[in-house]
Amino acid sequence: MSHTMHIEANAMTDDAQGGRVDREAVKTMYAKKMTLRAMSDELGVSRERIRQIIGELGLKSKLQMIQERNAAIMEESAKGNVSDEELALKYDISAASIALIRRQHGFGAAEHRAERLAEAMKAVQGGMSIRMAASEYEVSPGTLAGRLEKTGVKSTYGRWGALKHRYQVIPQMINDGHNWNDIIARLTEIEKRKIRYETLRIWINNHLPDIDMPDNKPSRAAG
């Protein structure tokens, strides 16, 4: 078969498999990181045909590129202390995506569990039930209960009688112009225990949602 006839045969084969395809156009679209669907719509052939041509041209599939990128991210993560933000800039994806990739590959899993457990403990101190806190922060109820017992942290969930003064004291002190430092000092005096700003904020969010307590504790001078 002559060279010309071979080219024509290839063209006819392309036609039989879903339309003649300009391979240079495929390369250009691939370089622009167009999706298979977009390339298929543009060239008027099936996505499977586009995928086949990509393979014939020796180009990597999107899945292969993602796998290689993720492997590179994990390799850099294993080398040292590099932040999600630094990797996001290097690989041109969001920091949230970097964090997800690292978690999926087990990087920092123990640290993430510890952080979630700590947040769940704060929520329990703030008045959320153990079961609700465990569900909210994706930790085991048994693990959470065990950690609470070990650290001596008491759940205030359902203890309306023990904390009912808060429903009166907090709104009244706010109306009287007192700041959050004053309010915490007063509650500490009444309850005879140390009250953390963060745990009180969680309790207020759960039980007095109409009151806006700032996320961050104000300085004493700020009032």
Residues 214-219 have a mean pLDDT of 75
Spatial separation of the C-alpha atoms in residues 98 and 55, rounded to whole Å: 28
pLDDT of residue 13: 38
- pLDDT (tens digit per residue) in 86-133: 888 888 888 888 888 887 776 766 666 777 888 888 888 777 778 878
Residue spans per domain, the chain: 3-59, 63-104, 109-151, 160-207
pLDDT of residue 111: 65
Taking the CA of residue 121 as centre, how many other CA atoms within 13 Å lie in the half-sphere pointing to its CB?
A: 19
Q: Which residues of 41-56 are buried (b: 16+ CB within 10 A; e: fewer)?
A: eebebeeebbeebbee
pLDDT of residue 159: 55
Residues 134-155 have a mean pLDDT of 81
pLDDT of residue 12: 35
Given a cut of 80, whether residue 147 has pLDDT beyond it is: yes
Given a cut of 90, whether residue 155 has pLDDT beyond it is: no
pLDDT of residue 8: 39
- pLDDT (tens digit per residue) in 165-207: 888 899 999 999 999 999 999 998 887 778 889 888 888 888 8
What are the residue ranges of helices labelled H in the chain? 3-16, 23-31, 36-43, 47-56, 62-79, 84-91, 95-104, 109-125, 130-136, 141-151, 160-163, 166-175, 180-191, 197-207
